Amino acid sequence: MPDEWVTKESGHMSLQGEWTLAHYSDLKGALDRQGNISSADSISLNGLKRLDTAGAALIVELIGVDKAKQVAEWASELPKEQQALLVRIAEAMDTPLDIQHQTPHRITDALASIGQSMAGVWSQQRQLLAFVGLVLATLLPLLLRPHRWRFTATVAHIQQSGLNAVPIVALLTFMVGAVVAFLGATVLADFGATVYTIDLVAFSFLREFGVLLAAILLAGRTASAFTAQLGAMKSNEEIDALQAQGLDPIELLVLPRVIAMLISLPLLAFVGMISGLVGGAMVSTLSLDISLTQFMTTLQKDVSVTHFLVGLSKAPVFAFVIAVIGCLEGFKVSGSAQSVGSHTTSSVVQSIFMVILIDALAALFFMEMGW
C-alpha cells in the first residue's frame, strides 16, 4: 500500500499531502521506507498542500541543499511562499557549524575586559551628561510658568525622600559623631589635647560628614526607589502611554523628584550636622569630663560659620546628581524584572561613587581657595 505522503513509480517520486510538524514522525518513516532519492530520476512537489519548517527540513534532506536552492527552476508550480521557505531552510542547513574557537589568553582577555569596562563607563557618562542637559532644559523654562508646577507630586516626594529619612540620618550621624569623638580623644589624650576633640567633631561634621553621610544614605535609599518606580512604569509601558498622550515624562516624572531632592538633602544635611555634634557632645560629657557649657563655648569660639556654609553648599549638588542618576537608570529599564534589579543596583553604585568623587573635588577646591 503506497504511503500517503510519498509515492515512487518508474524513477519518479512525488510528494503530496501536508508536510507539517504534526505528521513529522509519519513523514520520516515514509521517507525511510522509500529509500534513497538517487534511484529516482525526477521529483514532483505538485501534491503539497501545506508546508512548515519541519516538513521543509525533511524535503531539503531528501533532495539536497543545492537542488533546494534551485527549487524555483524545477518546481515553478509550487507557491512562492513554499519556495521561499525551502530556500531559507537550505541556506540555514548550508551554514558550517564547525566554528573555530580561539584559545583563551589571560593577558589579552584581561585587557579586553578592561577596554569593554572603560567603553561602558564612557558611554554611561555621556548618557548622564545628556540627561542632565535634558533635565535642565526642561526645568529652566518651567520656572517661569508656575501654573505648570506639580506641587502635589513634589510634596509627596519630599515626604518620601526627606521627612521619612530623618530618623535614620539622625541616628547614623549621632553614632558616627560619638565614634569620631571617642577615637579623636583616644589619640589626642597622648598629647594632653583632649579638649581639641570638640574642634575635630565640629570641623568633620560641619564640612564633610554631615552632608556626606546624608547623601550616601539618600543614594542608597532614594535613588534606588526612583529607579524602581520609573523602571516599573517603563516595563508596564506607562511612560509610552504618557508620550502617546502628548505629555512630557521629564516634566511629569523627573522634575518633581529632582526638586524634592534639592529641598530634602540640605535639610537632612543640617539634621546630620546637628546630630553628629550632639553625639560628640555626649561622649565629651560622659567620657572626657568636658561639660556641655564648655563644649558649646569652644564650638562658638573656634568654629566659624564658614565651615557650616561650605558643608551645606555641597548638598544641592549631591541632591541633583543622585536624583538624575536614579531617574536615568529607571528610564533605561528594558522590561524584565532582572533589568529592574540590575539598573537599581547600578543607580546606587553610580550615585555613591559620584557623591564621593564630587566631595573629593570640592574639598580640593575649598582648600585651594582657603575657605
Distances from the Cα of 330 to the Cα of 325, 342, 349, angstroms: 9, 10, 14
Task: Give the pLDDT confidence score for residue 177 in this predicted structure.
Answer: 92
Does the pTM exceed 0.75?
no
Beta partners for 7? Answer: 14
Task: Give the pLDDT confidence score for residue 2 in this predicted structure.
Answer: 42
Task: Give the pLDDT confidence score for residue 39 in this predicted structure.
Answer: 47
φ, ψ for residue 37, nearest 5 deg? -75, -15
Grid cell for residue 36: 534513497
Beta partners for 12? Answer: 9, 42
Contact, 214 vs 171, CB < 8 A?
Answer: no
Q: Output the DSSP codes for 130-178.
A: HHHHHHHHHHHHHTT-GGG--HHHHHHHHHHHTGGGHHHHHHHHHHHHH
Helix (H, G, I), strand (E, B) or coil at 305: helix
* Per-run averaged pLDDT (10 residues), the chain, 371 residues: 61 77 80 61 76 83 80 79 83 67 75 87 87 90 85 91 91 93 85 84 90 92 90 86 87 91 93 93 86 86 87 93 92 82 89 92 88 79
Contact, 326 vs 351, CB < 8 A?
Answer: yes
Task: Give the pLDDT confidence score for residue 352 in this predicted structure.
Answer: 93
Beta partners for 43? Answer: 13
Task: Give the pLDDT confidence score for residue 103 in this predicted structure.
Answer: 67
